[in-house]
Amino acid sequence: MKNGFFSDVGEKATARISLSSNEAWKIFTKGLPFEKALASAKLDGDIILAEAALRMVTVMA
């Protein structure tokens, strides 16, 4: 685990998204529009699944 995210999933991953923790925070709290998130993230594997993950919203209580 690196910076709170898993980075050692290897070949088991169906889709992989690479981005900074700062970008992740903005993306998952809707502080960064999807189009900009897509432009700044590196997607590998199942692109449809990776794009769906970029549309996730995180709720913090």
Question: Would you state the pLDDT for residue 50?
Answer: 93
Residue with the larger pLDDT of the pair 5 and 40? 40
Which token pair is 1? Answer: 């685990």
Domain map (residue ranges) of the chain: 20-61
pLDDT band (50, 70, 90) for residue 6: low
Quote the Cα angle for 9-5-20, to 5°.
110
Query: What does the alpha-carbon distance between residue 49 and residue 13 come to, in Å, rounded to a whole number?
Result: 11
The pLDDT value given to residue 61: 74
- pLDDT over threshold 60, residue 11: yes
Residue 60 has pLDDT above 90, yes or no: no
Confidence of residue 58 (pLDDT cuts 50, 70, 90): confident
